[in-house]
Structure 1
Amino acid sequence: MSTTSLTTNEYNLLSAAESTAKSSAATSGSSSSSSSSTSSTAALSSLANNYTTFLTLLTTQLQHQDPSSPMSSDSFTSELVQFAGVEQQVQTNSKLSSLISLNESGQLSADSALVGSQATANSTTLPLQNSSATLNYKGSSGQTVAIAVSNSAGTIVKDDLVTASSGTNTWTWDGTDNNGNKLSDGAYSVAVKTMDSSGNTSDVSFTVTGTITGIQTGTNDMEVQMGGATIPMSQLVNVSSTSKSSSSSSSSSDTDTDTSSTGS
């Protein structure tokens, strides 16, 4: 968007939206689910190492104890109990991981029925599919709202200043950048900002909409794929399956035609 005809407030508002969009792009690059998975694996590995270290210390202690003052049976029994406790904890963690994996497989099969549905999510990830992306935000009549879109590299590719109407507003992006070039489908980061009469900027809550093209397992949550965008299932606020209802209507229509043919 050209900034030559913008007022100072409009320019500041756009700059604030662009800054937030860039920040969202930077944070979305680091996956919290993968770091959580690494942390969980490291914890189990540490516990297993403690188990091995404890066994080594115990056997070394037995080998080098003073024959004239051997370890008392109470102390030996206490150390064996600790050793058994650590061993049991390692096995429990391993079994728990297996149970979680089985549960996720079942959830993946169930959620695969959502593929092809239209979904709305509370996410800063804007899915561009078939050169189209949509977000909805709530505004008041006459309110000036800035929308900024960034690619994964943190470069602003699209920004827009719009005047909101009262209630829910819809903003649709045709996938072209500020210079009119068509961009490839995928995941983009988006920010929506407004400004009060004192010149203070604030975030405007919004939702993004897209078509679910796949389901995958995350570490802490199932994830939906909307083309090249991946959004945690917990961020979905609405899922509507229009394709199934249309196929149902088509099937019903075919049945009526067959019945009338039989009658004649």
Structure 2
Amino acid sequence: MTSIANMMTNNNQNFGTKSANDEKLPGTNGIKDDEKLPGTGDNGKKEESVSDMFMKLLLAQIQNQDPTNPTSSTEYVNQLSQMANMESMNAMSGTMAAVAGLVGDMQALTSASLVGKQVYVKTDKIQLEDQPLEGRLTLESPAGSVKVKVTDSSGKEVTIDLGRQEKGMVDFEIDPAKLGLKPGEYKLKVETDTEEKDIPTEICGTVNSVRIDQKTQQLMVKVPGVGEVPHYTITQYGQQPSDDGKDKDDDKETKPTPVPEFTA
């Protein structure tokens, strides 16, 4: 005999529908989609509806079983156990959803504190205005020649020659006035005389605003020179210290704040 819990699971918990021939199950009073289950009200919980329907089907099964070959008590116990497991899984899913929502809220509050803070954003695209942009790249090995290519939408290219550089972080500046670059969008690409490819670039800027995208629910931060980008593209909070361990702006000893990791 097919268990009631399995019947309900296979039907994706769509327990209120009528059969193909529109027949009513004995003892169920022909429950339909638009009928309320007892005790649920207009906004009854899904778990209560599932439990109520299960008991109705179980009673109907008992009432209409073959008297010459009745269902064993073990079968009923198994069906009740399956039902209990299914309700536990539903409750667990609800709890996980609530936890995910709480983590999202905490993440939003934390990111809101970024407004006015200096950050580094990993990107290969920039939005130039009149002010210079500070950036950096990271080399995995020393290079005898390092160049940053700045290309506009028409394909016009300007090169920033950084010369010989050692392994690690290399700072550079994009000054529109010195380079003769007009306001607009540009792409960045790093070239070296080594075999190293796809060298990442980061742009430094101050967070202007933080918002949650209504379609993706993704946290977005707006940084001058970069535009609006997902928060996970932030690689560092705070100014990068110089080689002697002191801040480049105010000469105070400091260390970059590590990027917190959020999980949902």
TM-score normalised per structure 2: 0.51
Deviation at 1:125, TM superposition (A): 5.0
Deviations 1:15-57 (A, max 9, x none): xxxxxxxxxxxxxxxxxxxxxxxxxxxxxxxx89734479889
Deviation at 1:99, TM superposition (A): 2.7
Equivalent runs, 1:210-229 vs 2, <5 Å: 210-217=205-212, 223-226=220-223, 228-229=227-228
2:104 corresponds to:
104
Equivalent runs, 1:229-248 vs 2, <5 Å: 229-233=228-232, 235-240=234-239
1:143 to 142, 145, 156: 145
The 2-side partners of 1:101 and 1:217 are apart by: 13
Question: What is the letter of the counterpart of residue 111 of structure 1?
Answer: S
The 2-side partners of 1:240 and 1:48 are apart by: 57
2:124–2:200 Cα contact (<8 Å) kept: no
1:166 corresponds to:
165
Deviation at 1:220, TM superposition (A): 9.6
Structure with the greater alpha carbon radius of gyration: 2
Deviations 1:147-201 (A, max 9, x none): 35587xxx867563634342523141639xx9955326xxx764423343xxx56
Question: What is the letter of the counterpart of residue 145 of structure 1?
Answer: K
1:15 corresponds to:
none
Q: In structure 2, the residue corresponding to 1:164 is in which secondary structure? A: strand
Give the direction of change, closer, same or farther, for the CA distance of 1:89–1:161 in structure 2 (3 Å limit). Answer: same
Give the direction of change, closer, same or farther, for the CA distance of 1:179–1:234 in structure 2 (3 Å limit). Answer: closer
The 2-side partners of 1:129 and 1:77 are apart by: 71
Q: Which runs of 5+ in 1 are unaligned?
A: 1-46, 247-264
2:95 corresponds to:
95
Deviation at 1:143, TM superposition (A): 0.6
Question: What is the letter of the counterpart of residue 161 of structure 2?
Answer: V
Q: In structure 2, the residue corresponding to 1:210 is in which secondary structure? A: strand
Deviations 1:65-105 (A, max 9, x none): 54432332212221222222222222222232223223332
Specify which structure has the higher proportion of helix: 1
The 2-side partners of 1:51 and 1:156 are apart by: 57
Deviation at 1:136, TM superposition (A): 0.7
TM-score normalised per structure 1: 0.51
Equivalent runs, 1:111-130 vs 2, <5 Å: 111-121=111-121, 123-124=122-123, 126-128=125-127, 130=129
Deviation at 1:115, TM superposition (A): 0.4
Give the direction of change, closer, same or farther, for the CA distance of 1:180–1:95 in structure 2 (3 Å limit). Answer: same
Give the direction of change, closer, same or farther, for the CA distance of 1:120–1:233 in structure 2 (3 Å limit). Answer: same
Question: What is the letter of the counterpart of residue 222 of structure 2?
Answer: Q
Count of matched residue positions in the alignment of Structure 1 and Structure 2 = 185
The 2-side partners of 1:85 and 1:179 are apart by: 69
1:207 corresponds to:
202
2:36 corresponds to:
none
Question: What is the letter of the counterpart of residue 163 of structure 2?
Answer: A
Q: Which runs of 5+ in 2 are unaligned?
A: 1-8, 16-49, 241-248, 251-264
1:50 corresponds to:
12
The 2-side partners of 1:192 and 1:100 are apart by: 39
1:126–1:229 Cα contact (<8 Å) kept: no
1:129–1:226 Cα contact (<8 Å) kept: no
Q: In structure 2, the residue corresponding to 1:143 is in which secondary structure? A: strand
Q: What is the aligned-residue RMSD (CA, Å)?
A: 4.5
The 1-side partners of 2:128 and 2:91 are apart by: 45
Which structure ranks higher in relative contact order (CA pairs < 8 Å, sequence separation ≥ 6)?
Answer: 1
